[in-house]
Structure 1
């Protein structure tokens, strides 16, 4: 199998896993957002302004950061 084919296969697997796990992370992001007394978003970029990511962006960021663990090993 050549490198291009393998890269395409891994990209396809990544997208499938992202689509399968995104709803779970969306629920987690919503729960995190609605939880009273929560601390500010630790994944938000540090800045003087309170740059707040949307719930959908937060869910995608959580999924994208967790999925590579499925490809390890």
Structure 2
């Protein structure tokens, strides 16, 4: 079994996560903005339109989903 991560290591990983988030957020923001500008192709089913986040919230969600892959391994 894996033991608990020491507090110092956990803080270091949190700082690394925040730095990577700050570095990659502009790219995800651009992707989210482009996604809003392009016509939606998923409108084949009208009436099932998902609730939309703000562009900034969408960019943060994309970044938070992608960044953990940098810590795998």
TM-score bin (small chain): 0.7 to 0.9
Q: How many residues align?
A: 65
Gaps of 5+ in 1: 41-47
Q: Deviations over 1:11-59 (max 9, x none)?
A: 000000000000000000000111113327xxxxxxx884210000000
TM-score, with structure 2 as normaliser = 0.80
Gaps of 5+ in 2: none
Shift >4 Å, 4+ stretches? none
Larger Rg: 2
TM-score, with structure 1 as normaliser = 0.80
Question: What is the aligned-residue RMSD (CA, Å)?
Answer: 1.9
